Structures are given as C-alpha cells and as structure tokens.
C-alpha cells in the first residue's frame, strides 16, 4: 500500500471537504468476498464456452430463458452457488459507513449479489437486479430467498405454475426504467466526488457518469487493479483491490476527525 500513500491521503483530504459521493461498483468490489468476476482475471468462464457449448452471455440471455429455461437456470444456479457461502467485505462496509458520515451518498451497482444492502447501505440502485428476488413471469408472484438450495430447476410458481425467474436483467433485456429514473434524478443534483470501483466500465450507463463529472470539473477516482474504459480519464487512479483501498481511505478520513 505504500506505493499509493500519497493518492490515498489526497482522496481522504478531498472527502473531508465533500458532502456528496457517488460510488459506481462492479464485480471487482465483490472479488474480496471470494466471488469470481466471470470475465477478466480469475473469471468463472473467462472467454471459455459453457459446457453446453454456448457463451455464458447466450446462456444468460432473456431469449434463452424463454426458449430453454433449464439452460439459463443451470448457469444461474452455478453463479448462485458461488455466492452462497460468501458475504459482504470491508469495501461494502466502508461505503455503508460513508453513507452514515456524509450528507448524501449513493451507490450504482452492476452486481446482483445484494452485498451493498447486506452491509448496511440504503441508497443503492442495483441496476441489474438481485439474484435473491424471484418473480413469476405469469402472475407476478414474488418471493425473496436466501439461496437456491432445494429449489426445483427451473422453478415453477406455487400459485399458477408459471415460470419463475430472478429479478435480474438478462443479456438482451432492457434496464429497469424506475431505477434509471432514480439514478437520473441523483445525477441531476450532481456529486462532489465520483468513484468507479471494480468495474471495467464497458456499458455506457456506467462510464458516462464519470465522463459527465469530468465535464463538470468534479473529482473522479478509479479503484481497480486492472485497466478499464475510464482509466485514462479519472483524476486519481488507484491500482488496488477495493477492500484494501477503501479501508485505507476510511482510515485517512477518521484519523483527521
């Protein structure tokens, strides 16, 4: 961490003068919980075809869910089993504590693991949904589950026998308009400092807030051990894992009172 001492001190100093913070988080923030990032270093599939001979994006596409639900659910179960014994880590905890300390803190996450909420964050926009929230595609029956243990694959609704799916955005599906509207309202207010944590920033709705912040002259920080689509744009770049970086930043904040 010594290589990043100056940057961490600078970030902590900027945060002490800030009232509002936006965190944009991706799979990398949950890597310290032991979750694979699916793509990238240490990924679950990492440019390999699934055992069904199709890319994971095809297996987890909305079209496949409709035509071959047993295939989609097979890989959902694999992903959920990887999440099952994991929990939130220090990075999630620090963000939750910052929400208590600062006037306005919001999280836009691509993750479907629910760790931000479990760690105590309330202002979370889980733009891709939550793996643990199930909904019937027929009658709208809903249930939140701790895990998929004991669930028939593919699951059927106990009310109407319709196909049940998790409330997540599959490949080829549109983003939830209600969550996008909440995010747009927060972006309109603006933030003093913008963080990109553990995301490759390949989707426009993930990279654009950082680009907009640059146009507004607001500070931008990236925490990511790998290069991303915004690495060359941010004001401060921490090539670190999320838990280590955010813990060090938090220490820098509280040391100054």
pLDDT at 42: 39
Q: Give per-residue burial for 195-232: e unless 16+ CB within 10 Å, then b.
A: bbbbbbbeeeebbebbbebbeeebbbbbbbbeebbbee
In tens digits, what is the pLDDT along the chain, a chain of 257 residues? 448 999 999 999 999 999 999 999 999 999 999 886 654 433 455 556 778 788 888 999 999 999 999 999 998 998 888 888 789 999 999 999 999 999 999 999 999 999 999 999 999 999 999 999 999 999 999 999 999 998 999 999 999 999 999 999 999 999 999 999 999 999 999 999 999 999 998 889 999 999 999 999 999 999 999 999 999 999 999 999 999 999 999 999 998 65
Q: Which residue ranges form the domains of the chain, and what is each CATH number?
A: 2-34+88-128+174-255 (3.40.50.1220), 56-84+146-168 (no CATH)
pLDDT at 45: 52
3-state SS class at 125:
strand
Residues 27 and 13: their CA atoms lie apart, in Å, by 27
10: its two tokens: 């600078």
pLDDT at 41: 35
Residues 212 and 228: their CA atoms lie apart, in Å, by 17
pLDDT at 48: 66
Residue 123 buriedness (CB in 10 A; 0-12 / 13-18 / 19+): middle
Residues 16 and 131: their CA atoms lie apart, in Å, by 35
Residues 217 and 94: their CA atoms lie apart, in Å, by 25
Catalytic residue among 4, 92, 116, 128: 128
Catalytic residue flag (residue 132): no
Instruction: Please name which of 205, 209, 201, 187 lies closest in space to residue 230, comparing C-alpha atoms.
Output: 201
Overall size of the chain counted in residues = 257
Pairing of strands 20-25, 104-109: parallel
Residues 109 and 117: their CA atoms lie apart, in Å, by 11
């Amino acid at each position: 961490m010594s290589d990043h001492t100056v940057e961490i001190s600078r970030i902590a100093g900027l945060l002490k003068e800030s009232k509002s913070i936006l965190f944009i988080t991706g799979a990398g923030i949950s890597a310290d919980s032991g979750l694979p990032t699916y793509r990238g270093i240490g990924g679950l599939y990492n440019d390999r075809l699934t055992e069904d001979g199709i890319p994971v994006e095809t297996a987890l596409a909305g079209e496949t869910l409709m035509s071959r639900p047993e295939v989609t659910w097979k890989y959902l179960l694999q992903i959920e089993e990887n999440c099952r014994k994991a929990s939130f880590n220090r990075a999630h905890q620090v963000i939750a504590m910052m929400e208590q300390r600062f006037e306005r803190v919001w999280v836009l996450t691509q993750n479907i693991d629910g760790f931000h909420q479990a760690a105590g964050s309330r202002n979370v926009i889980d733009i891709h949904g939550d793996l643990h929230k199930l909904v019937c595609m027929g009658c709208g029956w809903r249930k939140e589950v701790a895990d998929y243990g004991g669930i028939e694959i593919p699951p059927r609704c106990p009310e109407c026998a319709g196909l049940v799916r998790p409330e997540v955005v599959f490949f080829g599906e549109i983003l939830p308009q209600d969550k996008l509207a909440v995010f747009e309202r927060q972006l309109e207010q603006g933030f003093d400092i913008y963080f990109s944590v553990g995301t490759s920033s390949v989707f426009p709705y993930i990279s654009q807030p950082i680009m907009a912040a640059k146009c507004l002259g607001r500070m931008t920080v990236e925490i990511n051990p790998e290069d991303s689509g915004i690495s060359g744009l941010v004001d401060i770049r921490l090539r670190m894992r999320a838990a280590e970086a955010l813990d060090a930043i938090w220490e820098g904040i509280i040391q100054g009172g």
